Structure 1
Amino acid sequence: MTDPFIRAFEDAGCEGPLAGLRLAVKDLFDLAGVPTGAGNPRWLETHATPVNDAAAVARLRAAGARVVGKTITDELAWSLNGTNAHYGTPENPAAPGRVPGGSSSGSASAVALGLADIGLGTDTGGSIRVPASYCGLYGLRPTHGRVSLEGAVPLAPSFDTAGVLARDAATLRLAMGVLLEGAAAAGPITRLLAPQDIWDEIPEATRAAVMPKVEALGLVVDREPLFDSGTEPGPLEAARVAYATLQAWEAWQQHGAWIEEHRPEFGPGVAVRFANAATIGNTDIAAAQRVRSGMMSLVQDRLPEGTALAIPAAPGPAFKIGDAPNREAIVRLTCIAGLAGAPGLAVPAGTVEGLPVGLQLVAAPGGDEALLALA
């Protein structure tokens, strides 16, 4: 069945709200007549060339955007680095010699370089928000399910979302207005929760760069903790572990059979993650699901209509190519939105030693438009 959004533009015979804007497409999304590689040569070899555009691509094209190319992604989208063992590391012009962030690395790079106006990406555990932070861009991970992922390679379907990277808030809002399905569920943001328990874990230089952006928004800012006090390893680390467990289990359900049949060569980090994913059992999943349910309830309770969580999008600026990142520290900041199925907006906030760092704003599910208005 034809998407009614697309049909409306076709029937009207108009160019649409994105006319003249250039679109870079992460190589997880199908483009008719163009192979989908998902960042891995073996995937490219074992999958047929698509005959239709992915739903998100079709909507952006119908609204007037012009596709200028497909972009590198980390393998099967399972990394936050932006490095690919097969295809290299896309350039980060905001931080030369440093990673662009992944897995929407190529889309972020194309936008930051001025080669595209809109970068279509995905965010499972931070893959739009982290590149936005590293490259000085705006990016939105939408509420889970509000943007169609038909025609996109999955990683962990209960976390996967499709969103956009842009150099300015106006373009982000315009493009996401095309992609978002369903009515807005929340009024404007009037209060920010910048919880002391999370901010205390942030490196001092990042706190000094990002907190002024929180205060400059001119809203009421509360610093009360997000979590009740608990035992080690602490609720934020427990959330990270739960997210990592569920993501890995879902990734193996999606790709384990293909991996066992075709034996793809993965870069070292992705290879280790898939090997570990194959060992996850039902007891691990049950425990992680309980943490996830708790996070969903916590977000609904602590982020009522009009309130957004304000925390850094990443612990610090992009790390040097070849250096090892602190993946756990990154995921502690990105997993809240993922576990809750909530929208997360990254906006440029400041610099650390001349390198960009971003602010992350998270609303309860359905608060996408409120976040975009605040941007």
Structure 2
Amino acid sequence: MAIDPFVPWGVATEQSDGPRLAVKDVVDVEGLPTGAGHPDLLGKKAERDAEAVARLRSMSVFAGKTHTDELAWSLGGTNQHYGAPENPAAPGHVCGGSSSGSAAAVAAGRADLGLGTDTAGSVRVPASFCGLYGYRPTHSRAPRDGIVPLAPSYDVPGLLARELPLLEWAADVLIDPASRPAAPERAWVPADLWGELSPRVGAALAPAIRDLGLPVDRTPLGLDVTDAFAVAQAAEVWACHGAWVREKRPVFGPGVAARFERAERLTAEEVSLARKTVAEARQRLLDLLEGAVLALPSAPGTAPALGRPARTRAATLRLTCLAPIAGAPVLALPAARVDGLPLGLSLMAAPGGDENLFALASGA
């Protein structure tokens, strides 16, 4: 079922000029309830804006709250209880998740900025599927109070826009100041990650990588941390929501339900080993990102059709989990089309290098 991107309980009342801001319904807006994609969580109204909303309202107008996948624990852009917003850039296809409504509102021209969250790709995947610019900030620079947590070690607010200058302006308002590392001197295009993708994806994104004007470094990442990340993330999700799940036994869609069932069964040994593997991967990523920008597809392919189950979660996480592991910023670019459908390229810098990404993308 295709639905309106805006939730009915998050209707805007502001009437003034300025960029219109659509806010994902895991983020508090004063005077409105926060549903987090599940009807059992709709409760009292927020007493104040989340810090991210408060900052962005200084340069924008609130347009309304938008749908999300259940508790934001999905990349599909669907919801068992509410349905799925249709993709304005690819009619008949999903928007991607979990910031599905914010992406749909921006792609449809009903908002200029979308505020979402990105734990493991929930801004970058919708940006790719909807032909938008997307931004995940350096973890340490992002305000996170007033946001329903998923996995706090990896959660950050993120932004979506149709135009890069507006996204850059909003990013500057959203994030805390920090010292800026040196500009990247090479494009890291790891041969092992790209080698697992369809050749059509590589061919479609090759021109965007050339346009960066940087020497290409094909050093392999040399590890697959996807499973370890999934375990570490699930442990944090269960720490945040497990008591509620055990008490209420809420109904979830199949994918989210399976992830909660797995999270409930995790052992301390599994979690400890996963966290150790993730920590080792973080150090390798930080070493390889020194002086480099990592270039990867924002998603392993284009948006699946509405109503057809997507079976690409593991392949997507292989690409998207690297930024949360490193706590690093990512700028997703609407770089190509395959069979008429949008496909994005994500650029990841070392932590703190947010401004470097915008400078690189704008040719500055």
TM-score, length of structure 1 as denominator length: 0.90
Deviation (angstroms), 1:185: 2.7
2:133 aligned with 1:135: no
Matches within 5 A, 1:1-375: 20-44=18-42, 47-61=43-57, 63-227=58-222, 235-236=223-224, 239-305=225-291, 307-325=292-310, 326-375=312-361
* Deviations, residues 191-223 of structure 1 (Å, cap 9, x unaligned): 111111111011111111112110122121122
Report how far residue 19 of structure 1 moved: 6.5
1:190 Cα deviation from its structure 2 partner: 3.0
C-alpha deviations, 1:332-374, integer Å up to 9, x for none? 0101111111112210111110101110111111111111222
Q: Retained in 2: the 8 A contact 1:77–1:104?
A: yes
- Please give the alpha-carbon distance, in whole angstroms, between the structure 1 residues aligned to 2:326 and 2:336: 27
**Paired AA for residue 119 in structure 2:** T
Corresponding residue SS for 1:108:
helix
Residue type matched to 1:74 in 2? D
What letter matches 2:213 in structure 1?
G
Identity over aligned pairs, percent: 54
Q: Which amino acid is the alignment partner of residue 123 of structure 1?
A: D
**Retained in 2: the 8 A contact 1:42–1:265?**
no
Consecutive unaligned residues in structure 1, runs of 5 or more: 1-17, 228-234
Q: Determine if contact 1:193/1:224 at 8 Å carries over to the other structure.
A: yes
Verify the 8 A CA contact 2:141 2:178 in the aligned structure 1.
Answer: no
Structure 2 residue ranges without an equivalent (≥5): 1-15
Runs of 4+ residues over 4 Å off in structure 1: none
Cα root mean square deviation, aligned: 1.3
- How far apart in 2 are the matches of 1:286 and 1:276? 16
Count of aligned pairs between the two proteins? 345
Q: Distance in 1 between matches of 2:235 and 2:272?
A: 11
After TM superposition, the score normalised by the length of structure 2 is 0.92
